Structure 1
Amino acid sequence: MDEEGNITRRRALIAGGAVLAFGSGVAYIGSRSGASGQHYVPDTTHAGSGTTGFDVDLDGRPIAGERDAPIDIYYWTDYLCPFCKQFETETLPELGREHLDTGDARLAVLPYPNIGEYSTPAAVWGRCVWSQVADSDPDAFWNWHAAAFAEQPESGTDWADDEMFAAVTEQTAGVDLSAVETCREERGATIRERIEPNVAMAQESRIQGTPGFVLYNRDSGAAGKLVGAHPYENFADAIDQVRRA
């Protein structure tokens, strides 16, 4: 099924051709009046396993939502990305309440380092924090995740360094800085290597920057994408279209 040119199967999405994007395609939003300012902590968080039908490697990655949710949302992000911060603060809380916490969809956080020199080290910090708390206190990851985005200044990328990320880690309850540092030292190279295949999948889906999203119906194989910091309404419409396809 192809609804208004927005829904396709994985092969067609990867191959290119028609513009397969929801809403207005690429969207960058400013702050909306009435935004709560509260970051999102999922009701349910789990570690992914295996490779999906869309060929995205979810093994060990943080996923917000129920394991059996019918719609996957693959969220490529960079802690240095200002539009990712907008998505996190303006859209994700409502998306989480309305669709992730209700079992409609699940959201996988996937690094796509592309903003600055520290983008890849920041991704390693995120993965090591998740590895340290995934079993014992997954909410701590989301608190750290939000705190890392909150450190972004109005502009520029030179704010991001080891000292800043160490401070965020040390200040986040439930996260052991020494364990995260050990992970960075011992597993950093492996984590970097595992970033590349999922970044390649995003690029094959014609996502060239962050934030980028693919919505994938695991039962039907229908898929579509959103690029940019779309408002909640565009995600709600996209989820509905993919679910019905």
Structure 2
Amino acid sequence: MGSKGKITRRRALLAGTGTLGFGGAVAYLASRSGSSAGEYVPETSHPSDGTTGFGVELAGRPIAGQADAPVDVYYWTDYLCPFCKRFETETLPKVGRNYVDAGDVRLVALAFPVIGEYSTPAAVWGRCVWETVAADEPAAFWRWHGAAFDAQERNGNDWATAETFRGITERTAGVSLDAVEECRQSRGDAVRESITVDAELARSVPFRGTPGFVIYNRESDAAGKITGAQPYENFADAIDRVLDA
């Protein structure tokens, strides 16, 4: 992949070497046209369990794509993160159509609540939505997920409240507010523990903020890392290289 973007093995990546060489500052400033390609709802989405070769626990995590896709993309996000919203609107729809729906990539959404006071509660809302719909209507989670990013306001995090997320949940087709509230009350501690596990793994990669991505070939153990709201072309190049590793 050249001196600035090489594929590494899992252990080397976790030791902090061999990342895909896309500069963090550039990543956060990079923007396409500024237009939105719309929310992404995957053709296939499913619950899973176990731990991947990279050390990602799958139970309770939203997963898009086919279970036997050769490459995993682990996506650490925060619903309060404006750069995550940029990725969601400008890049994810293309990655989804061209790689996830095509059967090449399995996308695993992980929590890394680092932006504001409501980052962790927002992550709990998302996990509980997934837990209540994953078995019967997983697409409902992705509709909720897109609506949560749509709710972001341009300045500050004052919009992120229980009332906001309650309204998003109530308005999302296929999601039961009562079921999600029950999950938050009865399983909140366990869900927060799973979020802590995700955050600890993110820090070990290491990531300092969101969004952060690891692209992992489950057969060859090859991996690469992307930081920030990169344009689609960078993701396509990185995925293609890890696919071929």
Q: Please classify the TM superposition score into its range, dividing by the shorter chain length.
A: over 0.9
Per the alignment, residue 241 of structure 1 pairs with 241
Please list, as runs of the form range in 1=range in 2, the aligned pairs for 1:224-239 lying within 5 A after superposition.
Answer: 224-239=224-239
Q: 1:78 to 1:23 in 2, by over 3 A?
A: same
Per the alignment, residue 186 of structure 1 pairs with 186
TM, length-normalised to structure 1: 0.94
SS at match of 1:229: coil
Q: 1:233 is matched by which residue type in structure 2?
A: E
Residue 224 of structure 1 deviates from its aligned partner by: 0.7
Uncovered stretches (5+) of structure 1, i.e. residues with no partner: none
Residues of 2 paired with 1:76 and 1:224: CA distance? Answer: 14
Residues of 2 paired with 1:47 and 1:31: CA distance? Answer: 32
SS at match of 1:108: strand
Residue 21 of structure 1 deviates from its aligned partner by: 2.2
Per the alignment, residue 85 of structure 2 pairs with 85
Instruction: Determine whether 1:220 maps to 2:220.
Output: yes
Q: 1:239 is matched by which residue type in structure 2?
A: I
Residues of 2 paired with 1:134 and 1:121: CA distance? Answer: 20
- 2:64, 2:100 within 8 Å by CA — same for their partners in 1? yes
Residues of 2 paired with 1:34 and 1:109: CA distance? Answer: 24
Please list, as runs of the form range in 1=range in 2, the aligned pairs for 1:111-190 lying within 5 A after superposition.
Answer: 111-190=111-190
Q: 1:94 is matched by which residue type in structure 2?
A: K
Per the alignment, residue 28 of structure 1 pairs with 28
SS at match of 1:225: strand
Query: What does the per-residue CA deviation read over 1:174-229, in whole Å, with 9 as the maximum and x for residues that have no partner?
Result: 11101100100000111001111221111111111100000000000000100000
Q: 1:217 to 1:3 in 2, by over 3 A?
A: farther
Q: Which shifted more, 182-191 or 54-63?
A: 54-63
Residues of 2 paired with 1:208 and 1:87: CA distance? Answer: 17
SS at match of 2:187: helix
Residue 16 of structure 1 deviates from its aligned partner by: 2.0
Residue 52 of structure 1 deviates from its aligned partner by: 0.4
Per the alignment, residue 211 of structure 1 pairs with 211
Per the alignment, residue 68 of structure 1 pairs with 68
Please list, as runs of the form range in 1=range in 2, the aligned pairs for 1:35-54 lying within 5 A after superposition.
Answer: 35-54=35-54
Per the alignment, residue 96 of structure 1 pairs with 96
SS at match of 1:84: helix
Query: What does the per-residue CA deviation read over 1:110-133, in whole Å, with 9 as the maximum and x for residues that have no partner?
Result: 010000000000000001111111
SS at match of 2:202: helix
- The alignment's C-alpha RMSD in Å is 1.6
Residues of 2 paired with 1:134 and 1:76: CA distance? Answer: 19
Query: What does the per-residue CA deviation read over 1:95-142, in whole Å, with 9 as the maximum and x for residues that have no partner?
Result: 000000001111100010000000000000001111111112111111
Residue 157 of structure 1 deviates from its aligned partner by: 0.9
Q: 1:21 is matched by which residue type in structure 2?
A: L
- 2:60, 2:127 within 8 Å by CA — same for their partners in 1? no
Q: Which shifted more, 20-29 or 42-51?
A: 20-29
- 1:217, 1:242 within 8 Å by CA — same for their partners in 2? yes
- Judging by fraction of residues, say which structure has more strand: 1
